[in-house]
Structure 1
Amino acid sequence: MDGVGWIGAIIIGGLAGWFATMFMKSDTGVFLNIILGIVGASVASFLFGLLGVSFGGWLGYLIAGFIGACILIAIARAVRGRSVRH
């Protein structure tokens, strides 16, 4: 959250989570969108950091949040899909 701040992280995280749920055709509420975006940004920043790529500022945080939220939605679907089959 370099240079974004907590309020900015909540707003951008909400947008990133909302964009991800629209893209992944997932049905989540506003609160979960915010959580997905914020946690997704952290996950994506970590993963891209391993590759030597870093995102900065509001736009970078939005992109990282979107990508990370999509990853988290895909993981949740995979886990839920496995538990339903057994």
Structure 2
Amino acid sequence: MNLIILLIVGGLIGWVASMIMRTDGQQGIILNVVVGIIGSLLAGFVVTPLIGGAPITSGGISVTTVLVSLLGSVVLLALINLFRRGSVR
């Protein structure tokens, strides 16, 4: 059940992050889900211990975990854009 929730929330977070970074037209649903999940995992392991919370992989979804996951996805998209185009946008 946690895997299904992670996929759904990761997809939504990846979609919102791609809209924030204006890359929504360039990538499809699969890349949105991948960026959302990888961004959530990276932010969950790096940022969450610093602010004192539970990562999204623990199954608890709160406002803090969603915001941290969104931040991680936006940063991941910025890095992808930096390597792909040479500018963050």
Give the TM-score of the pair, scaled to structure 1: 0.77
Shift of 1:72: 0.8
* TM-score normalised by structure 2 residue count: 0.75
RMSD across aligned C-alpha pairs, in angstroms?
2.0
Aligned residue for 2:7? Answer: 10
Higher deviation after alignment, 61-70 or 20-29: 61-70
How many residues of Structure 1 are paired with residues of Structure 2 in the alignment?
79
Of 48-57 and 26-35, the range deviating more from structure 2: 48-57
Percent of residue pairs identical:
32
Deviations 1:5-25, CA, capped at 9 Å, x for gaps? 000000000000000001110
How far, CA to CA, are the matches of 1:49 and 1:15 in structure 2? Answer: 19
Tell me the residue number matched to 1:58. 61
Larger radius of gyration: 1
Offset at residue 80 of structure 1 (A)? 1.7
Cα distance in 1 between the residues matched to 2:38 and 2:71: 11
Q: Whose helix fraction is larger, Structure 1's or Structure 2's? A: 1
Partner of 1:70: 74
Distance 1:38 1:65 in 2: 8
Deviations 1:33-86 (A, max 9, x none): 11111111111112214524324522344323211110111101111234xxxx
**Any stretches of 5+ residues in structure 1 without a counterpart?**
none
SS at match of 1:54: coil
Give me the whole-angstrom Cα distance separating, in 2, the residues matched to 1:23 and 1:55.
24
